[in-house]
Amino acid sequence: MPRTPEEQLVHFLSDMFSVEQQALAQMESAPDSSGAESIAKVFDEHYRETQEQADLVRERLEAHGGSPSVIKDTVMKLGGKGFLLFARVQPKTPGKLIAHAYSYEAMEWAGYEMLIRFAQHSGDQKTIQTAKAIRDQERSMMHRLEQQFDVAEDSSHAEESSDKLDELLWKHVTEAHALDAQGIKLLDKRKQIAGNESLESVYSQLRDKMQAQAELLEQQLARCGQSTSAWRDATLEMAALNWSLFFTAQSDTPAKLAAFVYAVLHLEIGGYQLLKQTAERAANAETTSLCEQIIRERYAMADQLAAAFDQAVTATLGELETT
């Protein structure tokens, strides 16, 4: 039988409760890898904020007679750590921590945007108010993390010699290229759960833009006599598969796909922000300019996707009604 609007709302509330549980698990250990007091403070403050958010979502879930799914909580706490596969297969640095946290906050922001829409369809004003308040807190956390990009990069590279800095710069450029390759691979899977032709068109445009940006990186690497790292590309492609499994366990829908791609775009934005800082430190004006261009374009891509959130929720509701 198809889910009623009430059942659909409870289902997504349960998802968001699990997301908050995952955030708590990650936030608890983040200060130890922060590399700077100001970064650790940001995580400490948001940990307390996240505890309150989890309680608010639990209250709304219980108000609808629902309860957090033990299975989903387990998947998120374990698989959630898998969302940070990059941090596990590469040395942990303050920069990678910031980039991953930034992307996760973006996923939460998108998730609450979706929850608002599901609650509107169900006529639940209290959940709308709660979701809007938490959404705004997630966006504020994203802004606080943006202010720490330079601190994280400085913590990692301030003491490096000029020769070592050049080496690190090209290492990070190849990482950015590998991350783009992973994002393209993820978008290639969109047809399975995009939702409708209009959303498919949005994802197709995002994929083409990401491909064009990856080619710009390749050209930059070639001009400087560098090459992409096959090992890192392969590792990150494996991460894309892990993400797919993660969302399969979370019952993939058009709404969740949109939220997840929004997070991926911000993971890449975070990476380019850090790369730009390193390029500036290395006095590489060409790479700095390229990063600034890609960052602007990625933010525009994220805005383009956010403008399609209504369609993603409508497609999800329509899909559920026919299952």
How many C-beta neighbours within 10 Å does residue 31 have? 17
Q: What is the mean pLDDT of residues 221-250?
A: 54
Dihedral sign (CA 132, 135, 137, 142): negative
Mean pLDDT, rounded, of the chain: 82
In whole angstroms, what is the distance from residue 252 CA to residue 89 CA? 26
In whole angstroms, what is the distance from residue 309 CA to residue 106 CA? 14
DSSP string computed for 23-85 = HHHHHHHGGGG--SHHHHHHHHHHHHHHHHHHHHHHHHHHHTT----HHHHHHHHHHHHHHTH
More confident call, 239 vs 211: 211
Q: What is the mean pLDDT of residues 76-103?
A: 60
pLDDT at 134: 98
DSSP string computed for 114-165 = HHHHHHHHHT-HHHHHHHHHHHHHHHHHHHHHHTTHHHHHHHHHTT--HHHH
State which residues form the domain around 36: 5-321
Q: Residue type for 180, please?
A: D
pLDDT bracket for residue 67 (50, 70, 90): low
Q: Which two tokens stand for residue 97?
A: 């921590």
More confident call, 288 vs 76: 288
pLDDT bracket for residue 279 (50, 70, 90): very high
What CATH number does the domain containing 270 carry?
1.20.1260.10
Does residue 209 surpass a pLDDT of 70? yes
pLDDT at 236: 53
More confident call, 96 vs 233: 96
In the chain, the number of structural domains is 1
In whole angstroms, what is the distance from residue 291 CA to residue 295 CA? 6
pLDDT digits (tens, 9 = 90+) for 292-323: 999 999 999 999 999 999 999 998 888 544 44
Pick the range with the lowest mean pLDDT from 11-15, 63-67, 202-206: 63-67
